[in-house]
Chain A
Amino acid sequence: MKTFARITILFCLGVFLWQSWDFPDWGDKDSPASSHLSPYFAKNTMKDSHVPNIVSAILADYRGFDTMFETAVVFSAGLACFFLLRRKPPKTKSKYYRHLPTGITVKITGEGKEPSKDSKVFRQIDSLWTPYDLIIRKTTQYIIPFVQIFALYVVAHGHYSPGGGFQGGVILAATIILFAVSRNLVAGLRWVSEKAASVSAAIGVFIYAGAGAMCIVLGKVFLNYEALMEVFGTDSVMARYYGIFVVEIGVALAVTTVMIWLYYNLSSSGKHDEGL
């Protein structure tokens, strides 16, 4: 079986390599791909929407419909993982609590009395617990806020520099996942609960689709930001500018929360009691 696979693959490899002779040269400025449609984008983004970053303009304005479905793909991946994996851990599993003043870890099995959720002295930790580690805790405590500000910067400056909703959203999700990895999954769940993550993901995609639907309600075609002229109170060029910004926010929110949601479900295989 393996040799048959190898022979077939080598044969197809040869066919493809032979065929690549027909391609245009690498870096050719006059190839059909570079000269048919793309000059329109380069010339007209400043005129149409006053956004220097051509990639962001295409992503959110000219081909914004594709981006909406890409956000829907991200949301459906989060929803699919939730649907497939989520289940309640068995009741007989023991829970672990850390007594904060002294640092002692307490294990309570099934019938014991558990501390209440608001207790200031006891805090729940994962079953795969590690002792209190000063270096990791303090390092992440100082790094996370700066990375979050950088993430928000990337989202907001998608118009002028490489960036935008997807990139900034992933960086923001990385900070929260860093928090959950360095401490406990339960601590991460206390910060961003699963309900908040899933509803925010839906809200993120809804911002995008809703902005488009509002364009229909206001009379024009779906995702034609010119219809939002009256809402923003500016002319059509700046309406596109602000429209792109609004959908980038929606994308960032959706991507952040779906990444967190995916992490929660995949790392604990659905049970939400212990993480990585």
Chain B
Amino acid sequence: MIHQLPGLIVIVPLLASLAAAASGWVNRKYPFIIAFLALSFTAYASISMLIYTAGGNVLTYHMSGWAPPVGISYKIDALNALVLTAIQIIALINLPVSNSYVKYGFEKKEAPFYGLYLLFITGLTGITATEDAFNLYVLLEVSSLTGYALIGMGNTRSPFAALNYLIIGTIGASLYLLGVGYIYIKTGTLNMTEMSLMLPLLKDSSTIIMAFCLCVAGILTKAALFPMHGWLPGAYSNGPNASMGIIAPLTTKVMIYVLIRLGISIFGVELFIESFSLSNFMVNFCAIAIIAATLKALYHTKLKKILSYIIIMEVGYMAGGFFLGNSDGTTGAIIHIINDAAMTFCLFIAAGAITSKFLEEDIRNIRGIFEKMPFTSLAFAGGALAVIGIPPTCGFFSKWYLIKGGFGAGQYLFAGALIFSSFINAVIFFRIFEKSFFSDKNHHKTPENLQAQNINTNKQISEAPLSVVVPLVSSLGLIIFLGLMTGKIVENYIIHLI
């Protein structure tokens, strides 16, 4: 059974999405049940594959029975299994959250919503598991199209933001396709393992260098590295709460996984290290990206926009950590993929709950979150501490590896940017804690403040529904759990990759 799992983990959500979309005509409740069953199965599958690959074992699966390079093959090694597990667990935990928002917002459209949700997860799973470069492009487009549609149903600003995302995202994916074409024209194969064997012989060809630049540029556009990040704040801050729970944590992180896969498996680390000027340039570039994103997060006051810029900053961490070229940096980047997925999930769900209950997007106008929504605010605080990087949350460990890698490679600008952004994050979040969590008892009774307090007390602001709170609290637990398990994760999985 374990040998059929790499294929099943992609097929089961696909079949389930078809069943969910078609069953909506029959009964409104079926799509949710189908989605829940499918995602439970994939979560179980990914955990069992994770246990199997713990010592460095590899699972391969040849689709249609043809061995590569004639056919398409899926390969699960330790890196894949980690990211797969992260995707499936977040998708499963997000399901009750989406269900509660779908009931309010999209009354009659649960069936297409769950169909698109499952197709999105199928796309991301396939991107993570595949070993064929063109198959990656097709699955990238599956997840992108469903992502655009899921974002486009938010508030009035969201179709324009989704359209912007569509145009920039499609250009990024097409650049990746062009890069694959350049590799194909020189090697004649589309399989990643074969490419990694043939490419070191062709190292000096300008086509391969151009292919590398194109692939990396395309993937980083979809991962929202500054300055190709223009689509992210608009799309993520205006999207509907039901779907931001999976889109925000997962999209950019899976793209960073693709970047690491391109580097480790296809092009080989020599191409990075030997062109040492490239490594320098990219690391400094990422450092500038981190600083710029942090300053923008400081400037904005809308809660979700702040979180969007924090995502851009995290992408800068991961990309920079990978381009450092030493094992500490890559370890930090890989751990940060998983940690950041958990942190972003927690923060976005909490922010969604807060903004939907208070009906207000701007942080300056929100008061008294802690009294009205204790659990949500606790989860938000936990996520914020993880972003800042305080032990024992997982954010501390990934930052530790990244800073260690930065000093080890002599990239002081990058390490300095990391520390600087930690401080600025602390400022941002403590400002939120101070102003919004507690209502001011000693405030001057100016008419403006009375007005603000009246608005907040008149509405029936209660705690978010149980289906939102439980996933929030569990994600907080996950953050702490991941922090404690970091040592084990590093030993068992990542060492084998580098």
Point out residues on A near B: beta carbons under 8 Å: 16, 19, 21-24, 31-38, 40-41, 61-66, 68-70, 72-73, 75-77, 79-84, 86, 195, 198-199, 202-203, 205-206, 209-210, 212-213, 216, 220-226
Contacts and interface: CB of A to CB of B under 8 A. Distances in A.
Given A65-B135, A79-B21, 4 more contacts: A23-B207, A33-B185, A40-B70, A80-B116
Contacts of B18: 75, 202, 205-206, 209
Interface in B157-213: 159, 184-190, 205-207, 210
A72 B207 contact: no
B138 A66 contact: yes
B69, B119, B152, B187, most chain A CB atoms within 10 A: B119
A83 B11 contact: no
Nearest to B62: A221
Interface in B198-245: 205-207, 210
A63 B73 CA distance: 10
Given A37-B69, A73-B138, A83 B149 contact: yes
Contacts of B263: none
B213 to A, nearest CB: 10
B119 A76 contact: yes
A62 to B, nearest CB: 5
Nearest to A65: B63
B64 A77 contact: no
A59 to B, nearest CB: 11
B149 A70 contact: no
Contact of B188 (A35, A213, A222): A35
Contact of A19 (B11, B19, B159, B210): B210
A221 B63 contact: yes
A79 B115 contact: yes
Contacts of B139: 69
Given A209-B14, A216-B7, A69 B142 contact: yes
B146 A76 contact: yes
B122 interface: yes
A32 B119 CA distance: 36
Given A80-B116, A212-B11, A64 B64 contact: yes
B146 A202 contact: no
B22 interface: yes
A258 to B, nearest CB: 12
B98 to A, nearest CB: 14
Nearest to B135: A66
Contact of A69 (B69, B135, B190): B135
Given A22-B206, A72-B122, A222-B7, A32 B145 contact: no
A195 B24 CA distance: 10
Contacts of A62: 64, 66, 70-71
Contacts of A216: 4, 7-8, 11
16 contacts: A31-B185, A32-B185, A33-B187, A65-B72, A65-B135, A69-B142, A70-B138, A80-B116, A83-B112, A86-B109, A195-B25, A198-B21, A209-B15, A221-B62, A221-B63, A225-B65
B495 to A, nearest CB: 31
Given A36-B187, A36-B189, A221-B7, A61 B145 contact: no
B185 A23 contact: yes
B37 to A, nearest CB: 15
A212 B64 CA distance: 8
B206 A224 contact: no
B401 interface: no
Contact of B15 (A73, A210, A226): A210
Nearest to B115: A79
B63 A37 contact: no
Contacts of A86: 109
Contacts of B115: 76, 79
Nearest to B74: A65
A40 B138 CA distance: 24
A242 to B, nearest CB: 15
Given A73-B138, A73-B142, A80-B146, A66 B72 contact: yes
Nearest to B178: A16
Contacts of A82: 112
B141 interface: yes
B185 A24 contact: yes
A64 B70 CA distance: 11
Given A84-B153, A216-B4, A226-B65, A79 B142 contact: no
Nearest to B23: A202
A222 to B, nearest CB: 4
A38 B142 contact: no
A79 B184 contact: no
Given A35-B188, A226-B65, A63 B112 contact: no
A224 B65 contact: yes
Interface in B332-364: none
Interface string B1-34: 0001001100100110011011001000000000
A80 B145 contact: yes
B127 to A, nearest CB: 11
Nearest to A213: B11
Nearest to A35: B188
A69 B141 CA distance: 10
Nearest to B4: A216
B126 interface: yes
A129 B61 CA distance: 56
Contacts of B63: 64-65, 221-223
B394 to A, nearest CB: 33
A31 B185 CA distance: 8
A206 B112 contact: no
Contacts of A202: 18-19, 21-22
Lowest 4 A-B CB distances belong to which pairs?
Answer: A36-B188, A80-B149, A224-B65, A202-B22
A182 B230 CA distance: 43
A68 B135 CA distance: 11
A83 B117 CA distance: 12
A72 B14 contact: yes
A264 to B, nearest CB: 14
B241 to A, nearest CB: 16
Given A36-B188, A65-B135, A72-B14, A222 B142 contact: no
B22 A76 contact: no
Contacts of A220: 65
B134 interface: yes
B380 interface: no
A222 B64 contact: yes
B257 to A, nearest CB: 19
A31 B7 CA distance: 34
B116 A76 contact: yes
B104 to A, nearest CB: 16
A36 B191 CA distance: 12
B15 A213 contact: yes
B171 to A, nearest CB: 13
Which of B7, B14, B109 has most A Cβ within 10 Å?
Answer: B14
